[in-house]
Structure 1
Amino acid sequence: MLANVWMSTSKLAELVKTEGLVYKKGKFSATEEAQLNAAIERYRVTKGLSMEDLDQVIFSNKAGKDKGHESFWSEITSALQLRPIIAVYHHVRRARHPYAGKGTWTKTEDDLLIQSVRDLGQSWEKISDIVQRTAADCRDRYRNHLQDREVRRIGMWSKEEEEELTRIVTEMTVDQGKDIDNDIFWGVVSQRMGGKRGRQQCRIKWTDSLAPQLKNTGERPRWSAMDAYILVHKVDSMNVRDDTEIDWKLLPDENWNIWSAHSLQRRWLTMKRSIKGFEEMSHAEIMEILKTKKAQSPPPSSSGRKKKSKYLSAEAVNDVDDMEMQPQAGPSGGPGSLTAG
C-alpha cells in the first residue's frame, strides 16, 4: 500500500493510530539512497529514456500522472521498505533538483529571498524559481536565519532566556501530557519568544542543553565512560549495515534518556572519527573496534560524589554501585540490553 497509495502526512498519521500502520520517517540512509538510485537507473534503462527524459518524468507537475510513466513512482518506491510513495516523491525531487547543493548563501541571495517573501508570502515553489534555490532551502534559510533578524540574538543565552524557553516548552508539552523530546513545534516556540531566538536555535538549546539538565534533577550532566559504553552497545543492537540507517530517537530508554538524539549522534561520530582510517572501513569493522575499546563497562566512580540521577545506567545494568560482573564485547541482545560474558 505504501508504494501505491498517495497519502498526506496527516492521513499517514491517522492510519498509524487507527490501523497500526508502520512506516519509516526521517533522513534517507546511504543504503536507501543506493537502492533508490539503482531503481531509478533500472527504470530509465528499461524504458529507454535519456537523462533529459528522466528529468521530465521526475519533475512533471502532476505526481504519477505523466503520460506513459504512471508507474514510475510506485516502481522506485517498491525498491525500499516502509517508505511512503509521497516521501519518496519529495525526496527524489529535492535531491535531483537543478538548484540542489548550491552551498553557502550570499548576501545578494538573502536580500532577494527576503524581498520575494515580502512580495509573495511563503509561496516557496514560486520563490524557488526567483532565488534559484530549492523550495526547501528557501524555506529553511528564511525561517532559521532571516525571519525576525531585526530582533534576533546570537551568541550565549542569558539565564532569563533559558528560563523563558523552559517555561514555553514545558507549557507546550508536560502541561499537556506530551513528550518533551519530540512533541514540539519549534516555529511556535520561536514566535512565543518574540523571534529573539530562531526555531533552530531554540531546538538545539533545548535538546542539547536544557532538556538533559531538566532530566538530571536540574544539574548539568556530563558525558561519562558508562554513557560511551552504553551507546556503543545500543548501536550494535540496531543491527544496521551503515550508521545512516540508525534512528537515533530509538536509542534512549526509560533508564537512559538524558541525551537527545542529536547529542547521541554527535557522540557516535566523535567516537567513530577517533579511529584511524575510519573513512575506508565498513560499519561492521568500526563497530568491532569500538566494541573492543568499550569491552568492559567502567567501574563505579570512587570519587565519593553522589549519584546525580537514575538515568546513568542502561536498562539491563543492575546495581551499578555494586557491580561484580563485567559485560564482555559482543552483539547486544536488543535495544537497551547489554550481554554479560
Structure 2
Amino acid sequence: MSFGELRKTTKTNWLKDNRELLRNNNGQVQTDIRLSTKWLERSKCEDLGIKYRKGRFTKREKEILQNTLQEYKRRHNLNDDQLQKLMHYRNDKEHSSFWAEIATPLGFRSLKSVAHHIQRNFHEFNHNGSWSKEEDEQLKQLIQLYGRDWTTIGEQLKRMPEGCKERYVVCLQHQDKHNKGKWTKEEEEQLTKVVVNITKECDANISLDWGIPWQLVAEAMENKRTALSCRSKWVRDLRLKYEIGEDRSARWTSYDSYMLCK
C-alpha cells in the first residue's frame, strides 16, 4: 500500500475520530500535511493555526497505530527487532518516511505526539520504572563487558536500549565529577552563556527546551552537572531571567503551565 493509498483508506476514520475539529469544514478532511510530516511543537502549531488533537490516545487511535505499524512491517519485510529500532530513531535513510506514514492515518495527531506515544507504549521493556542502585551497578558492569552495544545491554537488563544509553550518558558516565548541591552564581552564568551559544550554533529555539542538545550543554559545562540538571535549572530558573534581561518576549511553555497549576 502506498503512502497516498494509506491516507485515502483512513479518511472515514479521520471523520469519525475528529468530528469536533471538522464542524466548520463542511465535513471535508482538511488536515495540514505539516502536522504529520514536520516535528512541530504544539506552540508552533498554534502559531501557524494548525488544528491538532490533544489528550490521551483513544482506543481506536491505538488500534490504528498498531495496524499501521504491522502493515509497515509487512510491506518492508521487517522483523520485530528492526521495527523496534525504527520506532526509536528518526534518521534511518532507508525508512525516511516511516514516521510520516505512521502518523498520517491519525489525521489530527502531531508527528511528535505520535512518536512519543509509540516509544512509550510499543516497546517490550517500557514499564520498568526508576533505576535502582543495583541496576546502575549492573549497567556499568555490562558496559565493561559489551562496550556500548545498547541493544544487548537492554536485553540483559530488560530495559529499552535508548533508556540504558541515556541512563549511562546522562547520569553515570561522569558521576564522579557531578556537583549535587546548590548552583553557584558562577555556574548559573556559565550555563546561560553555554545555552545561548549552543542554541545559536544549532539553530535551536532558546525559548523551548525541546531541540536544545542538553548533553552537549552538560559537556560544555565540563560535566559538573548532568544534562538533566542543566535542563531543569534553565527551564525552572534561568530562561525567563535571560529573556527578560534581553528584553525578549518570553514564550509561555508547558513547564510554565505545570508550575502555575501545581
TM-score by length of 2: 0.59
Q: How many residues align?
A: 199
Quick check: 1:32 aligned with 2:57?
A: yes
Task: State the 1:148 CA deviation.
Answer: 0.5
- How far has the Cα of 1:127 moved from its partner? 1.5
Select the structure that is richer in helix: 2
Which residues of structure 2 form unaligned runs of 5+? Answer: 8-32, 43-52, 72-76, 85-98
Cα deviation, 1:277-299, whole Å, max 9, x if unaligned, reads xxxxxxxxxxxxxxxxxxxxxxx
CA contact (8 A) 1:128 1:138 kept: yes
**Bigger Cα displacement from structure 2, 119-128 vs 144-153:** 119-128
1:14-59 CA distance string (max 9 Å, x none): xxxxxx8443647995433544323367x59xx9xxxxxxxxx997
Separation in structure 2 between the aligned mates of residue 59 and residue 29 of structure 1, nearest angstrom: 32
Q: How far apart, CA to CA, are the structure 2 residues paired with 1:186 and 1:34?
A: 34
The residue type equivalent to 2:170 in the other structure is N
1:79 aligns with 2:71: no
Helix, strand or coil at the partner of 1:100 = coil
Aligned-residue Cα RMSD (Å) equals 4.2
CA shift at 1:176, angstroms? 7.8
- Whichever of the two has the greater Rg, that structure is 1
1:105 aligns with 2:131: yes
Residue 201 (structure 1) aligned to one of 193, 208, 229:
229
What is the Cα deviation at residue 4 of structure 1? 6.0
Q: Distance in 1 between matches of 2:5 and 2:149?
A: 28
Render the CA deviation track for 1:252-307: whole Å, top value 9, x for unaligned: xx74x265x2432313532xxxxxxxxxxxxxxxxxxxxxxxxxxxxxxxxxxxxx
Residue 215 of structure 2 corresponds to 187
What is the DSSP-based 3-state SS (H/G/I as helix, E as strand, rest coil) of the residue aligned with 1:105?
coil
CA contact (8 A) 2:103 2:109 kept: no
1:197-276 equivalences under 5 Å are 197-217=225-245, 255=249, 257=250, 259=252, 261-270=253-262
Instruction: Provide, for residues 96-118 of structure 1, a one-character-per-residue CA deviation record: whole Å limited to 9, x for no partner.
Output: 33322222221111111122233
Q: 1:145: which partner in 2?
A: 171
Shift of 1:171: 2.0
On the 8 A contact 1:3/1:83 being kept in 2, the answer is no
Q: Secondary structure at the match of 1:213?
A: helix
Name the CA shift for 1:35/1:3 in 2 (closer, same or farther; >3 Å).
Answer: farther
For 1:79, the aligned partner's letter is L
- 1:324 alignment partner in structure 2: none
Gaps of 5+ in 1: 6-19, 48-56, 65-72, 220-253, 271-341
Q: In 2 relative to 1, CA 3–89 (structure 1 residues): closer, same or farther, beyond 3 Å? A: farther
Q: How does 1:328-339 map to 2 (within 5 A)?
A: none
Instruction: Find the counterpart in structure 2 of residue 278 from structure 1.
Output: none
Give 2:195's aligned residue. 169
Kindly indicate whether the alpha-carbon contact (under 8 Å) linking 2:154 and 2:164 is maintained by their aligned counterparts in 1. Answer: yes
Q: 1:265 to 1:196 in 2, by over 3 A?
A: same
